[in-house]
Each structure stands twice: as structure tokens, then as C-alpha cells.
Structure 1
């Protein structure tokens, strides 16, 4: 998805037409074909947040104020 968005203007006109105009048509294209992609990605990234290897990419947990 990211690559198609960043190189949208390099795509052939028929592909641009199929994807729709940026940003609304583009989002509609992918959400109509992959309706759970956003939530699945969120869940996967949440799972990764508990893996030590990925800790540098996440903010530290908030400290409880007492």
C-alpha cells in the first residue's frame, strides 16, 4: 500500500483509475478489498510491542502516578 501511494503518479493511468484519487479513493480501494487490514495490522503491531527486539520502536509505558 505504501509503495503504491508514494509512487502513485508513476502508475499507468488505468491503474490510477482503478485505485481512485488520493487519498479517499485510494483508501476506499484497499478497505473494500481488505476490510480487516487496519485492525489486523494494529493487532500485529500491538503484539510486536511486547517483543524485546521491537522495544526501540515503541514509546515506554506510562508510569502510574500515585
Structure 2
């Protein structure tokens, strides 16, 4: 597996469009490396970005108990 990805490869890896990855870079929301005039993204950084957006499942019973306490 490659260690560094181009913007196009990163978009394919994340399952997004190239424009989205370029926006992440422009907004400095994901770390990147400049190699001359080229931009490269490290695989570990792509995985960390994806993991940061993870949403955990919830237990319905816990939600009900929480709602009852709040009312």
C-alpha cells in the first residue's frame, strides 16, 4: 500500500470527489505535504480524518432514560 496519495487518489480512497479534498486542503482541515508544486496526503492522515468523523451507535434504552431525566 502506498504511503502518500495524490489528491485524486485521496478522493478515491475517501470515496469523495476531488473538489472536496481540495477544499479540505484549502481550509487546512487535513494535513498535507508540498513536494515542489505537488500536494501529497499521507495515508495515516486520511485515516485519521475519516476516524474523526465517526459517529458511534447508541443504545435506545439509554436514550429513553436520558430523555425521561431531562423532562
Asked which structure has the greater RCO (Cα within 8 Å, sep 6+), the reply is 2
For the aligned pair, the TM-score class normalised by the smaller chain equals: under 0.3
Please, what TM-score do these two structures have when normalized by structure 2?
0.24
Please, what TM-score do these two structures have when normalized by structure 1?
0.26
